Amino acid sequence: MAASKGRGRLSLFREVISELRKAVWPTRQETMRLTIMVLVVAITVGAFLGGIDYGFSQLTRLFLPTL
């Protein structure tokens, strides 16, 4: 039984390697372009949410000045 588990894992490992070889990997240029896009979107969304948070904080201070 232990031998069949070992063969099953080895077979799975070979299949994984086979599938990874079939994958189309992005070029260095594509990777850089997509990384920059992700950073720009993340910074933009973070700034937007930060602005909303700041606005709600100011509204809270306006209506509840003791806090």
Q: What is the pLDDT of residue 28?
A: 97
Q: What is the pLDDT of residue 10?
A: 87
Average pLDDT for residues 15-24, to the nearest whole number?
92
Beta strands in the chain (DSSP E): none
This prediction has a pTM of 0.63
- Output the average pLDDT for the chain: 89
Residue whose C-alpha is closest to residue 43's, from 33, 51, 31:
51
Q: What is the pLDDT of residue 1?
A: 45
Number of neighbours of residue 29 by Cβ within 10 angstroms: 8
Total domain count, the chain: 1
- pLDDT for 24 beyond 70: yes
Give the range of the structural domain holding residue 6, as residue numbers without chain letter.
2-63
Are 67 and 60 spatial neighbours (Cβ–Cβ below 8 Å)?
yes
| Confidence band of 56 (pLDDT split at 50, 70, 90) | very high
Q: CA-to-CA distance for 2 and 4, rounded, in angstroms?
A: 5
Q: CA-to-CA distance for 56 and 52, rounded, in angstroms?
A: 6
